[in-house]
Structure 1
């Protein structure tokens, strides 16, 4: 494992070419339970504008959209995003873009940003840039929800704990920590941007 470089878009495109749902997002009971916990952690009944970083095939995007006036879901894999577009075609409030965050990012503000199962694909330097971009895109008092798998993967530069702990370092000046939940295989942390 090399943690000095983030995983490139080609890594993910190759996975989706081999298997349209390589992490079993659509069929796994673990994923279904984690998605339910993710949605349950949202402290507001409705959001004006949500930003989902790494939407993959759109399973969580579809659930998130029920609570948002607008959702922008990004991914680096056109193959994955095509599935997401088809899954969410009846949801006009959902938009999709191919962006390699944080090097590429939208030019708008959000009151909810979701980082689910993607932070550990970044090297430490790119994660730091990700944090800076998120803070710029998140409105004052907006919510940031992190959810990550905890076991170490030999392919990934970071672990879920390393990702979450790095955001905890932004307390109290940049973020407030509202909620923490830890299960056997995943961790959830909810933050609010300082006003």
Structure 2
């Protein structure tokens, strides 16, 4: 359950997307959003990874992992990574891509709304997934985030900013909601195409402060 939209159209939809939307996308293409081909995607992944404030994470969660392109990068900085996607075909591709990391990567097929995994994470990556949720579903997920984070954990959210008529919300809608939550905002970036924000359960100080580089 992830992916940047292909076409842009004027106004968001008011109803949640059917699961068939994602099943149909993967039925006609192995990589329907061009995650392995487009510079937009490679640049987005680089920005996402560069925004992380820790070099390594004990337990990470990436809902909406799709075919596992970003997951392969996250696997290099996590002791244990849980990936999830709604599409069985997408998770099949993700498992193949992540096979060499199978000792510490778990790929699940499930819906983030009802199948959120138990336990705490010190990294949650929400990449191009939250605008698929209705406002009510988003509120429920946002309230869940602090309970799912370790005390020093962080959430990185990154979303396409252009409007897509099928989607219940825009990227700006979901980031504005995250900024209005109980999470502590620690960093952000935006341009015409994407918006990225980093949050924690509590303030941890900057990377330089944590490494005693600041007097």
TM-score normalised to the size of structure 1? 0.94
Mapped pair 1:194 → 2:202: yes
Q: How far apart are residue 139 of structure 1 and its match? A: 1.5
User: Which secondary structure state, in structure 1, belongs to the residue aligned with residue 79 of structure 2?
Assistant: coil
Q: Does 1:93 align with 2:104?
A: yes
Mapping for residues 109-148 of structure 1, pairs under 5 Å = 109-148=120-159
Task: Provide the C-alpha distance between the structure 2 equivalents of 1:74 and 1:132, rounded to a whole number of angstroms.
Answer: 20
1:75/1:98 contact within 8 Å kept: yes
Structure 2: how far apart are the matches of 1:186 and 1:61? 19
Secondary structure of 1:57's counterpart equals: coil
Give structure 2 stretches of 5+ with no counterpart. 1-11, 204-215
Task: Determine if contact 1:102/1:133 at 8 Å carries over to the other structure.
Answer: no
* Aligned counterpart, 2:21: 11
In structure 2, which of residues 189, 194, 200 is the aligned counterpart of residue 181 of structure 1?
A: 189
Greater C-alpha Rg? 2
Q: Tell me, what secondary structure is at the counterpart of 1:48?
A: strand
Q: What displacement does 1:179 show?
A: 0.4
CA distance in structure 2 between the partners assigned to 1:116 and 1:8 by the alignment: 19
- Take 2:79 and 2:35, find their aligned partners in 1: how far apart are those partners? 24
1:62, CA displacement in angstroms? 0.3
Which aligned segments of 4 or more residues in structure 1 are displaced greater than 6 angstroms? none
- Equivalent position of 2:211 in the other structure: none
Distance in 2 between residues matched to 1:115 and 1:81, nearest whole Å: 17
The count of corresponding residues between Structure 1 and Structure 2 is 191
Contact 2:13–2:169 under 8 Å retained in 1: no
Determine which of 158, 167, 174 is the counterpart of 1:163: 174
Give 3-state SS (helix, strand or coil) of 1:36's partner.
helix
Match of 1:83 among 93, 98, 101: 93
| Structure 1 portions without partners, runs of 5+ | none
| Distance in structure 2 (CA, Å) of the matches to 1:75 and 1:189 | 22
Q: Distance in 2 between matches of 1:85 and 1:8?
A: 24
- Say whether the 8 Å CA contact 2:156–2:196 is kept in structure 1: yes
2:8 counterpart residue number: none
Is 1:108 matched up with 2:119?
A: yes
